[in-house]
């Protein structure tokens, strides 16, 4: 499998395809038996009469975020290492790497065209720094002094969230960057946490470890930290939040599987699967449509869109694996999908259009 097969098997038997550059956090759910996908007729009714259209963005890699104006950011591996990339108005732009570095990755973009991610400075092995690109020019964001930092989300006001290792013990801390200042967010314990997304109201979501070492999905509202709990199992992770305050992620079930969830106003809802054991939610738009990846009954992992209570398989580019990472209000979905020819670089950045 290529470097775009994210480490979804790092905490359990998560076989969903995922980008290695994004740390996917495990979660918990309260249903021992995974619900199956709705019939195809119900799925078509939920998203429209026409099946979703998928298009290859033309390079191995993944689209990781999409703005309302259709600007897509992510990373490509055509050069042999990850390069932060932008797709906009049929043009693909390589944002390059830092001087002396080896890789870069773009995780989010706002309507002003500000892009955030991480990159290698080349000073130490496996060291990354959080980066903000404006007008194609990268700026390194301040860190807590440890060996890594990463910027994962940015809102319309330019508030950035992510994580940074502190100098004392190199443990990951959830941070917010605003006005050039880095601020550490409250945590459930000192064992490691990170922030994954922020909405325009400034509400932040991510994961924080309990004293036991297990991660729980959390939400930050100002200085207030809220543990979102689980769906019955031990672990959970929040990956994205929309302007209405709906949060999505994945949670472990009481039976040990992982299910995609939506959390809203204190209630965590299990979104089910495409017929297999596990599912993971990575993005949600203002209409409450959720995207992610789920195992099918045959054991393959496919991108999905969940809307009006129905999870729909988005298919692939001819291969067996795909993941959807983000969706905008117009129904443009971005992610990665495997080609039918898996001989070399089979996982390509992909975009789906809901009709």
At 221, list the tokens.
Answer: 């509202």
pLDDT attached to residue 60? 96
Distance CA 97, CA 118 (A): 10
In this predicted model, what pLDDT tens digit does every residue of 45-104 receive, in sequence order?
455 445 588 999 999 999 999 999 999 999 999 888 999 999 999 899 999 999 989 999
In this predicted model, what pLDDT tens digit does every residue of 232-254 receive, in sequence order?
999 999 999 999 999 999 999 99
Distance CA 293, CA 277 (A): 12
At 39, list the tokens.
Answer: 């019939």
Q: In 3D, which of 110, 28, 6, 47 has the Cα closest to residue 305?
A: 47
CA dihedral over 212, 215, 221, 223, signed as positive or negative: positive
pLDDT attached to residue 39? 42
pLDDT attached to residue 125? 62
Residue 296 and residue 317 in contact, taking contact as beta carbons nearer than 8 Å: no
**DSSP per position, 39-70:** PHHHHHHHH-SSPPEEEEEEEEEEEEEE-TT-
pLDDT attached to residue 51? 58
Domain ranges of the chain: 28-353
Helix extents (H) in 93-233? none
Helix extents (H) in the chain? 40-47
Exposed e or buried b for every residue in 15-50, given b needs 16+ CB within 10 A?
A: bbbbbbbbbbbbbbbbbeebeebbeeeebbebbeee
Q: In 3D, which of 194, 114, 107 has the Cα closest to residue 155?
A: 114
User: What backbone torsions phi and psi does residue 45 show, to the nearest 5 degrees?
Assistant: -65, -35
pLDDT attached to residue 49? 43
pLDDT attached to residue 52? 80
pLDDT attached to residue 294? 98
At 238, list the tokens.
Answer: 């929040």
**250 pairs with which residues across the strands?**
237, 260
- Mean pLDDT by groups of 10 residues along the chain of 355 residues: 31 29 29 34 47 89 97 95 96 95 97 97 81 97 96 98 96 96 97 97 98 97 96 98 98 97 98 98 98 98 97 96 97 97 85 90
pLDDT attached to residue 50? 55
What does CATH list as the number for 28-353? 2.120.10.60
Q: How big is the CA angle at 73 (ends 200 and 37), to the nearest 5 degrees?
A: 80
CA distance readout (Å), 324 to 132, 170, 280, 293, 348: 23, 31, 10, 6, 12
pLDDT attached to residue 27? 28
Contacts with 210 (C-beta within 8 Å, 6 or more apart), sequence order: 188, 189, 191, 216
- Calculate the CA dihedral of residues 253, 219, 14, 23 and round it to 10 degrees: -160
User: What backbone torsions phi and psi does residue 166 show, to the nearest 5 degrees?
Assistant: -85, 155
């Amino acid at each position: 499998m290529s470097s775009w097969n994210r480490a979804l098997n790092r905490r359990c038997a998560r076989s969903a395809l995922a980008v290695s550059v994004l740390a996917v956090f495990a979660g918990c759910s309260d249903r021992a038996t995974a619900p199956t996908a709705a019939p195809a007729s119900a799925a078509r009714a939920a998203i429209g009469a026409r099946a979703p259209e998928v298009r290859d963005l033309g390079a191995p890699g993944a689209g990781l975020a999409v703005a309302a104006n259709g600007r897509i950011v992510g990373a490509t591996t055509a050069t042999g290492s990850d390069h932060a990339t932008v797709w906009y108005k049929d043009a693909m732009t390589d944002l390059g790497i830092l001087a002396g570095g080896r890789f870069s990755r773009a995780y989010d973009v706002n309507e002003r065209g500000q892009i955030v991610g991480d990159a290698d400075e080349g000073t130490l092995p496996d060291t990354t720094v959080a980066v903000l690109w404006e007008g194609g020019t990268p700026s390194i964001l301040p860190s807590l002094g440890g060996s890594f930092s990463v910027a994962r989300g940015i809102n319309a006001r330019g508030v950035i969230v992510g994580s940074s290792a502190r100098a004392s013990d190199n443990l990951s801390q959830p941070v917010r960057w605003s006005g050039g200042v880095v601020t550490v967010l409250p945590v459930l314990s000192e064992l490691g946490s990170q922030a994954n997304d922020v909405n325009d109201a400034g509400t932040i979501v991510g994961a924080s470890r309990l004293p036991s070492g297990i991660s729980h999905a959390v939400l930050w509202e100002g200085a207030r930290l809220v543990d979102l709990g689980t769906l019955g199992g031990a672990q959970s992770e929040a990956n994205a939040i929309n302007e209405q305050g709906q949060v999505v992620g994945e949670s472990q079930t009481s039976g040990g599987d992982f299910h995609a969830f939506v959390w809203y106003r204190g209630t965590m809802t299990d979104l089910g699967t495409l017929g297999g054991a596990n599912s993971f939610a990575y993005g949600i738009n203002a209409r409450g449509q959720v995207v992610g990846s789920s195992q099918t009954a045959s054991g393959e992992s496919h991108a999905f869109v969940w809307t009006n209570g129905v999870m729909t398989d988005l298919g692939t580019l001819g291969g067996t694996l795909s993941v959807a990472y983000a969706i905008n209000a117009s129904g443009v979905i971005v992610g990665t999908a495997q080609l039918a020819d898996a001989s070399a670089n089979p996982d390509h950045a992909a975009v789906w259009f809901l009709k």
